[in-house]
Amino acid sequence: MKMKFKTKAKKTIKIFGIELKKSLVTATIAALGFLIALSWRDVITEWLGRFSEASPLKNSFISAILVTIIAVIGIVIISKWNEKKKQH
């Protein structure tokens, strides 16, 4: 009975370690992605500002739409890539 408990505990610790590593990798990638997005924010806003000088609100709205579209396309591409990886 005692050996079963030790074996089960070791297995649980191993699974926990694997899941912790996955979570840390995911969180790190998300943080780096956020950092990239912040660095590009000013570039996109300035670039769009040259095309729409009329209103700052309009510029922010167009920037938000453009960033959203790019992000959604990126999410779809990464999701498809991840599905292909899981199938193999």
Q: Which helix (H) or strand (E) holds 60?
A: helix 56-87
Please check the confidence at residue 84 and state whether its pLDDT lies above 90. no
Task: Tally the C-alpha atoms within 13 A of residue 63's C-alpha that lie toward its C-beta.
Answer: 21
Contacts of 60 (CB under 8 A, 6+ apart): 45
38-56 pLDDT, tens per residue? 888 778 777 767 766 666 6
Give me the pLDDT at residue 14, please: 93
Instruction: Name residue 22's amino acid.
Output: K
Two tokens, residue 42 = 């000013």
Domain ranges of the chain: 2-87
DSSP 8-state class, residue 22: H
* Confidence band of 13 (pLDDT split at 50, 70, 90): very high
CA 70, 71, 77, 78 torsion-angle sign:
positive
